[in-house]
Amino acid sequence: MQQRIETPQRKFKGFETNKTLQRNRAAAMAACKRASATTATPTETKPNPPQTQETTTQTDPPIAPPKKGLIFNLCLFFSIPYFYLLFQRYTIEQDLKRSILINAALSVVGFFLTQRMIPVASRYVLKRSLFGFDINKKGTPQGTVKVPESLGIVVGIVFLVLAILFQYFNFTADSNWLVEYNAALASICFMILLGFVDDVLDVPWRVKLLLPSIAALPLLMAYAGHTTIIIPKPLVSYVGQEVLDLGWVYKLYMGLLAVFCTNSINIHAGLNGLEVGQTVVIASAILIHNIMQIGASSDPEYKHAHAFSIYLVQPLLATSLALLSYNWYPSSVFVGDTYTYFAGMTMAVVGILGHYSETLLIFFLPQVLNFLLSLPQLSGYVKCPRHRLPRFNPGTGLLTGTRDGTLVNFYLRIVGPKSEKSLCIHLLFVQALGCCFCFMLRYFLAGWYK
Ligand code: UD1
Ligand code: MG
């Protein structure tokens, strides 16, 4: 039996060079950094170095089961308006509807696959010491539990498999869309890789900021769509034309949008369920927006742009819901930067290729606000600690806002101390209100703005 146990050392036996040792040390250091980051260590215990399979199963109990009731309610809440719009409200071509439904069916499979794979992957990441401590439970027994990190890797992999398989059901080999679709997938895949690198190596903040611009390169280089923008009607008299060709500036804008979407999801974080929750809310709003645009338009190209977005956002939503079932309060897994970057990049890509980046930015309203509040610390003008989370009081179980410039702290300073769960629900509600505001704005400005 003993011989079968595969320790990291055994695995690389014969290549036991400096590189192997460095790799093991890097994994252990990344975990240590997380565990000790800004007094995050609930006890003085340091995370153990990578352990054998036998000892890991002995010391780390399996993660808590998924919160299925929550996900069921969320699915019901979203599916009713969504399928009403798809089947009843608008007359959508059969072909398009068929593709959307095949994609939805694949996404459901992806949901169950992700839910099954997360506990398995959790064991593996724990074995490699990739875990974090729940900072907002510091001082309670829950704060001493090793929570597996970077489970976004499961979501990312399942998403990519679904998105690749879906091409078989929808696109023909000579389809023009295929080039951009695969370029989009390459960018998302690159982002997952860089996010995982960040989780393992814990790269410095300034480098983190740059990663999405590297990952966006495949899309920027392959993009052959138009580089024009339609000038809002009230501004036409000032600009002198209705359509403006931005040329390379448009590509720069695409790159900046990718950097913003990824990082803005990553820094509006630190509460159980917030990273995935905000993605679920925004993705739902994007899907409803896409169906409304398809239903209201008669331009085939415009419809395809929005259908393209649906094909990527449905799998994103389904796999994210599976992750949320484990990440919701109290979190049994953390999503890692792998997930936040992946989700941000996917939404940026669909906003760019679907040509609705302005609408997307309004869906991102809380993230924009959080970014503005964060600017003094991000720019280095004010000191930026490793974690900018609220202060947790183990006696009352409540969080209090600190002076760090984040929306979470700002909100707490306005409404007073709150429990982590109710704060997260409040913030997701604010996110949903922002999306409703966007729909209203589009409704009232239709015809007048563009
Ligand atoms: C970003 C934020 C940081 C915030 C962190 C939380 C900036 C510049 N950076 O950093 O302020 O503290 O996200 O994700 O704004 N964690 C929890 N509870 C959760 C989620 C995470 O305690 O619900 C802790 C865990 O210790 C986990 C760690 O945060 O291991 C993950 O942090 P990471 O995603 O690496 O932080 P950053 O993205 O660098
Ligand atoms: Mg993060």
Please report which ligand is nearest the Cα atom of 389. Answer: 1
Ligand 1: residue of 39, 131, 135, 379 to mutate (most ligand atoms within 8 A of CB) is 135
Ligand 2 centroid – CA 46 distance (Å): 21
pLDDT band for 133, please (50, 70, 90 cuts): very high
Predicted confidence (pLDDT) per residue in 23-48, tens digit: 444 444 444 444 444 444 333 343 44
pLDDT, tens only, 67-114: 888 888 888 888 899 999 888 888 888 888 888 999 999 999 999 999
Ligand 1 contacts CB of residue 270 (under 6 A):
yes
pLDDT value for 58? 55
- pLDDT at residue 31 in the model: 47
Which token pair is 26? 């890097």
Residue minimizing CA distance to atom 20 of ligand 1:
270
Q: Which ligand is nearest to the CA of 264?
A: 1
Ligand 1 pocket check: which of 197, 332, 387 to mutate, most ligand atoms within 8 Å of Cβ? 387
CA distance 183 to 193: 15
Give the predicted TM-score (pTM) of the model. 0.86
Which residues have CB under 8 Å from 371's CB, separation 6+? 260, 263, 264, 267, 378
Amino acid (1-letter code) at residue 164 = I
Q: Please report the pLDDT score of residue 270 as a whole number.
A: 93
Q: What is the pLDDT of residue 247?
A: 81
Q: How far is the CA of 162 from the centre of ligand 1 (A)?
A: 28
Straight-line distance from the first to the last Cα atom of the chain, in angstroms, rounded to the nearest whole number: 70
Q: What are the beta bridge partners of residue 391?
A: 400
Residue 358, token pair as written in the block: 């302005």
